[in-house]
Chains A and B, each alone.
Chain A
Amino acid sequence: MKLLAYLRSLLAAVRHRNEEDHDLDEEFLAHIQRHVDDLERSGVPRADAERQARLAFGGYARVKEECREERGGFWFESLWKDVHFALRMLYKNPGFTGVAVITLALGIGANAAIFSVVRGVLLRPLANQDEDRLLYLRQSVTGDDDTAFSVPEIKDIGANLKTIEELGTMSQLDFTVVGLGQPREISAGVADGNYFEVMGLKPVIGRLLNPGDDGPNAAGAVVLTYRFWSTSLQSDPNVLGKTVRLGSFEGTRSATIIGVVEPSVPYPVETQIIANIVTSPHHLSATMVQGRVHRMTEVFARLAPGAELESARAELNTVYAGMLAAHPEVYKPSDHYQITVTRMHDQINSRASTILWVLFAASGLLFVIACSNVANLFLARTVRREPELALRSALGATTAVLRRSLLAEALVLCGTGLLAGVLIAAPMVTVLGRYAARFSVRAVGLTLDSSLLWIGVALALLAAVFLAFVPRLPSADTSKGFGISSSSVRITGGSRRRLRIFAVTQITASFLLLAGAGALLRTLLVLQRTQPPFETAQVLAVNLPVMTDGRTPEQVGEFYREAQRRVATLLGVERVSTGFATPWRDARFLNLGFSFAIQGAQRENALDDPRARFRSVSPGFFETMGVPILQGRDFDEHDRDGAERVVIINQSVAKQLFPGQDPVNRELHWTDPVMRFIGISYEPRRIIAVVPDLDDQNLIPSQAMTIYQPTNQEGWNSRLFVRAKTDPYVLVPAITRTIHEIAADQPVEHASTLNDIRAEVMTPDRLNAVVFGGFASLALLISVVGVAGVLAFSVSGRTREFGIRLALGASPRHVLTDVLVEGLVMATIGVTTGAVVGFLSVRAIAKYTADFQVPGTLPLVASAVLILAAALIASALPAARAARVDAVQALRAE
């Protein structure tokens, strides 16, 4: 009750300040009038009565003040007044205000943006129900530390677990979908009936897969992901019940769309639809069901109620060890098979964690730079205002009151900085989100939310309090050096030292950021300068996914040959060929590599065989790419199924396995156990040609053994490569039309030149450089302002000294050099400290991660030079002012 009344009066006080002020006057004046009336009635003359009444009432303004104080909300009201005062003061100093606000805006904005991303990507819980009980299972083998599971393995591991409620499995597959708009190839997951239950996901409309959808006799069923449904299908609810044809590499099946799953993070790959097992003939094949090393299934698990992660780990390890022991022929002890169990949340964040926290630290550094910079300005200003503050103090203002007025000023600065900061944070979140999407799927749908504002407000308040409490205040004891007597500013040693430390800190931090950014920029430049080993500008790559719908493998092969023939006749087409992987883009296929052996070679066992990248290309591929054949002949129409099996090798194979010999007409054969599952035979193959190394996987070409097979012998078609005489993109409509003439349902997708694909792949590196470069430039900018500010202040404080020196005959150039040297010394100390700190931290980091690049000498030297140059420029202005000091005026000012 009391509290309520208090709050109400407080609120009223703040809200109706003017109104109540008026009321106070009215009440007091009425009081005095009554007293006057009474006095007059008792015979006092009117003029006397008025005087007496006023005297009796006491100090009118003081009473009013006391009443306000009693009424509550007084402190805020005074602060409000201080804010008004501060606004006026800051308005009169646009230079100071502008610099301080911009600096704070950058510091606050960058931090708020990064925090938004960190929160969105790392801290926010997943949408899955009880996400902390959701686990992700992987296994590792020597040479491959992150592998999925095979169906027999899942059966062995998943039986009778006590700590795990249920396992859910899913494997990724590309389906060619007919019946949802244009026929197209989309990334899909093939999941069992427990998958959604384990993942803890609910449908938005319709239903999800359940155990009733398992087994070879179930009807085909498809669940759409929310993203796909809302973006590609415009959230059309009528899509439920629709029948679609799903084509995968072993045949086509029909399926009905049964539901849409709620928005969730796709992991480990982005999938657009999730279908039951019956939709993929491959999943029902013996290869899948019985192949113990056919590992393509992701395993998710849900902890049983009451079970802990550690106990689940222990149980799974035991079960896994049992499985290893039962199949010694597959699990050789030398391969060190291991199972890993992680929380889904941690697994998703694992890649983003480090980089985002590093970024967060970098932005924290930026905030420190910004705050110390503004603190410097603020400190300098307060020192200059000392006479004013001392005067106010002498007139009875308490320390609390002075502090409050400083706080008001800091609040105004930080508040304005916050507004500007939020404005720049919004676009920063977009850039950072794209950047983070490289490490975490969670960053894909990242949006702005109010947390950005809240963190900004918190930072602004923090900065304001810090700023308000940095300057010393005049105390009643004037012996401490403050006083209103001295008209010129004298900087105390303490203040000056603090200013220098702040400035050096800024330089150190900027140097570190700049060196990091320099290293990243260099990486980018190297990438951009590197010439790809084959033609990229004139070559168009088009996705032509396999359509198996009712066609024999021969018919599929014929389709690709026919497509090549017809596209080749188009005007402006120079050469056409097919293959199965687009350079740089199709990372999954480009990664394929198998072990092989050359005929007649001494072999211990299959494990020691060399591995080569596997590529399947049609005749004319090398010509399309503008690569010469060094020895032998290209594939031709006669290299078909049934004919002699042939391969082309690259120079690396020739050099490593046939040193000093002619490899042409020698034979090799695949030895990899995986071959059995992908329909490629172990028969010997004759080498018919040698081509140069053309790395289609890495942006910086490396030498890797590669073996090319003709598409006409064992299939593996899905990409069309067209070398154009003129602008390749002009050809796209004609190519699409031509393909649809052969097969109307055939998807024709993602046409782009190899040049553009390369640029697209380089985007992350560009973003890397942009993000860190942006940070570093901001830091540099702020530091330059900081150094200039400190020097300007130091010069203005030393006006008298300069005046005397000039009067005694020192040349202006001496004074100029003096100030410049002061700036350079600060910069040098900063850079040296930065180099030492950087060196130590690089050594510390190198202990934890191997793939950490030490920035080369060039970026380091360049950043140091840049910083010193910036410091020199920053010192120039104050130095020039110092040299122009008029000796007479400076001395008279004393």
Chain B
Amino acid sequence: MKLIHLSPPLDEEDIKKLRVGDLVSITGRIVTARDKAYARVTSGAKLPLDLRGGVVYHCGPLAKRTPDGWRIISAGPTTSARLDRAQGEFIRRTGVRALVGKGGVGGEVAVQLARLGCIYLAFTGGAGVLAAGAVEKVERIYWEELGPAEALWVLRVRDFGPLVVAVDTQGGNLYFPRSPEAFSQVHRQRPHRRL
């Protein structure tokens, strides 16, 4: 399959061309953010760097401090859905154009993403060493006081991927249940009714 190369900062045109199922790789700067950083941004904290057109990676890396600086050991994606409630607000405040994570976002969040011109890229969960191999350098760490997993890690990556476009700006969402019958059947007969 063809691999589409992206280099942030991205503009709306770069993003609009992408469709669910496309494979993407990223070279350039990406920034990690998860629960605590999201909470800080959505409560109005000033961003320590410009994220407009940027790529945010849902990840809490495992890293080791060495005499030459930080070395990333394992850095796969975390579950993006934990950030669902803050997602729309985070994108509005930061202007990011692409999220990288795993497990997808909720249906309503996917609609918000399309409206805000932001795509969702899936990296294989658990593939931490593979992801670490794409990191050329830890450029900086902001908000280190949040703890190593929750800080903003500014990473320079080369050929980070392959990432699957899983939510696009045209309403495509790979996580939408492919067997809606099975899904609704299960939910109609919810087995955990109160006795």
Do they bind each other?
Answer: no
